[in-house]
Chain A
Amino acid sequence: MKENGHQLSKDAKLCKKWAFGLTVLLIIAFPGIMFITGYSYSLGFFKGWTYLSFSWLIIAGLYIAFRPVVEYMKGEGGKP
């Protein structure tokens, strides 16, 4: 039980870093830079933007589709 609490505290620290880091990146750093510079998308950048959105979709989709199956196979997800 105690070991478990220790692990949870470690996880909590790590996830705090990730949560705050991503938040700053997503709503302050990236849009901030884009807003201040007032950059207007060129054709190349716009293409890259759509590729980013498309590949994000595919990678996230594959992750969501396969990770639960893998966990289920390994018996990690808990028997339903």
Chain B
Amino acid sequence: MLPAYVGYVLLLVFGLFFTLITFIMQRRRKQAMTAEQFSTAGRSVGVGLASASIIAAWTWAATLMMSSSTGYQYGISGPYWYAAGACIQVLLFAIVAINLKKRAPNAHTFLEFIGQRFDKKNHRLIMGFALMTNILVTSMVVLGGAIALNSLTGMNIYVAAFLIPLTFTIYTMIGGLKASFIADYFNTVMIFAILAIFATVVYVKFGIDPIYEGLSNMPSSDSMLTMASVSGLFFGMINIIGNFGAVFVDQAYWQRAIASKDSAASKAYIYGGISWFAIPFAIATFLGVSAAGLGISVVSPDSVAPEMAAHLLGGVGSILFLAMLFMAVMSTGAAELTAITNIIVTDIYRKSINPKASSDRLLNVSRRVTLGFGLMMGVLSILLFKVGIGLGWVYMAMGIFVSGAVIPVTLGLLWKKATNEGTFYGASAGLIFGVTAWLTSAYLLYGEISISTLGELHSMFFGNITVFLVSGTISIGHALIANQEFDFESLQGKFRSFDDEENEEEIKEEGMLYEGKRASAK
């Protein structure tokens, strides 16, 4: 185990490094920071940066820890199902992302679109889902980082949970979404580099033959070396279903489309998804499956990755692993933080509290919300920890709570027939039925409702699948019966930029267009 100061030094070094980079970028930039810049990064991000940032937002501490644990438990099918099962959501998200770009090029959040597409109650309901997703993901990510720091360095877990959000809050507050993108880029590159080091060391130090020997000599050898593993398949199914909510209802992913240039939006998700695949696939193969093959005994399968890292390279391995984990935590945290800020500023402050706020005012509010929420996250994670709800539990249960909105939101973007009532009752009934199915199946299958029976794979599976079936049936069914058509063209010009100057220009342009039309009509 490393000494506690390593944890503090790591936090300090990364915090300072990214704050410094953001500060320099800010000084070098020619145009002044505006509210629009802060929350959309100028809508000018290219494919490369956007895909790096999508990878960073989707690389959670769980991606590194849990994927290795599945590799250790299920053999080669574990890493594959983890990677494939969580990669397709990002690929499929490309389709809805580009439709948002097409139909609402000036929107700041997907909720702003929902608010215009559907009525007020839907806007509020989906916003509830979105904020819940952000808060769950953030506290999970911060908690994951704090637990890792605590178990590897002995650093106080509460101090860690409070200091981790502080590191990314500061640079996000200065530079907004763009700063988060730059940090994401550095973090992603470092994660890839450290993974490549681990993989190389496995090859050089052990070679593949002894790992294969070990795997085929294991008592459960049949399922370790084949994709035809039933438990692996079952895990894959839950992973696929459960992860949809975490991508489609999370503003952080919509934000990456909003910030991209038009030509980059769809490609970024495809390239990002394919590249992301390599992270869990490689780490779980080289740290999880090889640990099983080499017969390394671990305290619990969840901690196989750090223990294997220490086994490979000793203290250096631990520090490298910790740095990698911390970078994953930091970039996801920053992405979630900008997402929450954007929702609060666009969909609450500007929509309901102060619709006429000037650009300066909005920028000011954005920064305050960022700071306030950043500090609150630490407290939230500590609360979750105090309640005694574990990481894996939240990871799997999250789907039940947030996925209700997946089908309604997707339909709202892609299908002109989606209706207000179908969306509202679909999403809310999905949540209610999902939770009911989850509780009932836990009770029927295991005889009692408790944290542990609710955490069983089967209860989770029935809960997750019910959410999708119910929300899908209601929202599609109602739309087919009502047979209304929504005119997406009517959304044009409904979304205003945060910057008033630009706003005036747009109004002028519209005026000119109108004049032009009148002229041609004559």
Residues of A that sit less than 8 Å from B by CB: 4-5, 7-9, 11-12, 14-16, 18-20, 22-23, 26-27, 31, 34-41, 43, 46-47, 49-50, 53-54, 56-61, 63-72, 76-80
Cα distance A12–B100 when bound, in Å?
Answer: 11
CB distance from A38 to the nearest CB of B (A): 4
Stretch of B38-46, B125-133, B496-504 that contacts chain A: B38-46
Assess the B212–A23 pair: CB atoms within 8 A. no
Cα distance A5–B178 when bound, in Å?
Answer: 25
Can you identify 7 A-B contacts, CB atoms within 8 angstroms? Answer: A15-B95, A18-B91, A35-B227, A46-B212, A60-B277, A61-B192, A77-B48
Assess the B270–A8 pair: CB atoms within 8 A. no
Contact residues in B for A77 (Cβ distance below 8 Å): 44-46, 48-49
Q: Does B261 contact A (CB under 8 A)?
A: yes
Stretch of B278-286, B342-350, B459-467, B473-481 that contacts chain A: B278-286
Q: Which residue of A lies closest to B193 (CB)?
A: A61
From 16 to 58 in chain B, residues with beta carbon under 8 angstroms from any chain A beta carbon are 25, 28-30, 41-42, 44-49, 51-52, 55
Contact residues in A for B278 (Cβ distance below 8 Å): 53, 56-57, 59-61
CB distance from B253 to the nearest CB of A (A): 14
Residues of B that sit less than 8 Å from A by CB: 25, 28-30, 41-42, 44-49, 51-52, 55, 76-77, 79-81, 84-85, 87-88, 91-92, 94-95, 98-99, 101-102, 178, 182, 185, 188-189, 192-193, 195-196, 199, 203, 208-209, 212, 215, 222, 225-228, 233, 236, 240, 261-263, 265-267, 269-271, 273-279, 281-282, 285-286
* Interface hub of B92, B233, B236 (most chain A Cβ within 10 A): B92
CB distance from B432 to the nearest CB of A (A): 29
- The verdict on A56 contacting B277 (CB below 8 Å), with A15-B98, A64-B189 known, is yes
CB distance from B312 to the nearest CB of A (A): 15
| B94 CB contact (under 8 Å) in A4, A15, A71, A80 | A15
Contact residues in A for B92 (Cβ distance below 8 Å): 19-20, 23
Contact residues in A for B276 (Cβ distance below 8 Å): 60
- The verdict on A35 contacting B47 (CB below 8 Å), with A41-B226, A78-B42 known, is no
CB distance from B94 to the nearest CB of A (A): 5
Assess the B49–A54 pair: CB atoms within 8 A. no
Assess the A22–B91 pair: CB atoms within 8 A. yes
- The verdict on A35 contacting B233 (CB below 8 Å), with A18-B91, A46-B225 known, is yes
Q: Which residue of B lies closest to A11 (CB)?
A: B266
Q: Which residue of B lies closest to A32 (CB)?
A: B227
Secondary structure type dominating chain A contacts = helix
Secondary structure type dominating chain B contacts = helix
Contact residues in B for A53 (Cβ distance below 8 Å): 79, 199, 278, 281-282, 285-286
Contact residues in B for A7 (Cβ distance below 8 Å): 262-263
* Interface hub of A43, A47, A60, A76 (most chain B Cβ within 10 A): A60
Contact residues in A for B185 (Cβ distance below 8 Å): 64, 68
Ranked 8 nearest A-B pairs via Cβ: A78-B44, A67-B48, A61-B192, A34-B227, A68-B48, A77-B46, A60-B275, A15-B266
Assess the B270–A18 pair: CB atoms within 8 A. yes
- The verdict on A43 contacting B228 (CB below 8 Å), with A27-B88, A67-B51 known, is no
Assess the A71–B46 pair: CB atoms within 8 A. yes
Q: Which residue of A lies closest to B222 (CB)?
A: A40
Cα distance A25–B502 when bound, in Å?
Answer: 45
* Interface hub of B79, B84, B240, B265 (most chain A Cβ within 10 A): B84
| A57 CB contact (under 8 Å) in B98, B182, B199 | B199
Contact residues in B for A67 (Cβ distance below 8 Å): 46-48, 51-52
- The verdict on A12 contacting B95 (CB below 8 Å), with A31-B84, A40-B225 known, is yes
| B91 CB contact (under 8 Å) in A9, A19, A63, A80 | A19
| B98 CB contact (under 8 Å) in A11, A36, A60, A76 | A11
| B188 CB contact (under 8 Å) in A18, A43, A64, A71 | A64
Assess the A68–B46 pair: CB atoms within 8 A. yes
Contact residues in A for B192 (Cβ distance below 8 Å): 57, 60-61, 64-65
* Interface hub of B29, B85, B266 (most chain A Cβ within 10 A): B266
Cα distance A59–B228 when bound, in Å?
Answer: 28
Q: 15 more A-B contacts (CB under 8 A) besides A43-B208, A63-B271?
A: A15-B269, A19-B269, A36-B228, A37-B228, A39-B226, A50-B286, A53-B282, A57-B279, A60-B276, A61-B192, A63-B275, A68-B48, A77-B48, A78-B42, A80-B28
